[in-house]
Structure 1
């Protein structure tokens, strides 16, 4: 059996706010929330089988450099949806800006950045 990705863990400035918009847009739920290393907080948000661990340090966050030019940088997180047009409207309604649209094999996609300037890709496969 091939390995299955269970979660990814990354730092955000406000885990509660990030988890809230993810639950609203993606239909996810908070699986767990609690104290974490260095006086921080972690929130696990996703489905019953896969999730993102949102870590907020107790001492605040710093701006990141261009992740595409940083070894080990997080470039983007991708989600798959059934109706990309409806998701783009929902993303825009949340105040995010959709851009960098692509329609190439194997599906359509667009990207947006959240309030921490983290890039998300939304894909609908044909």
Structure 2
């Protein structure tokens, strides 16, 4: 397994763990619907990135754009969820425009994943 795929799987695992932790905090401590949304985005995209990384290992053609799309999902989800979590728990924005930029990055990542279907070939 190449380094890029290993890093994607590592980040997917960390995103999933953070998503579960954020959901627990939202349920038991506070943070409300905003923190719940951040948790759901982390958990959903963690599963997607894990699946995309596994699929990339099976491809001879199209693995690069698939991993690129998965990377965009990781960074987009981290920016989006990080900003929402910061707002919910610290009552402060992470960085100006982090949530919209993260959301746009996730949309772009999903479009790259969709486009990969046009060029992908199995090993």
Bin for the TM-score computed over the shorter chain:
under 0.3
TM-score by length of 2: 0.27
TM-score by length of 1: 0.26
- Structure number with the bigger relative contact order (C-alpha 8 A, sep ≥ 6) is 2
Q: Which one has the bigger strand percentage?
A: 1
Q: Which one has the bigger helix percentage?
A: 2
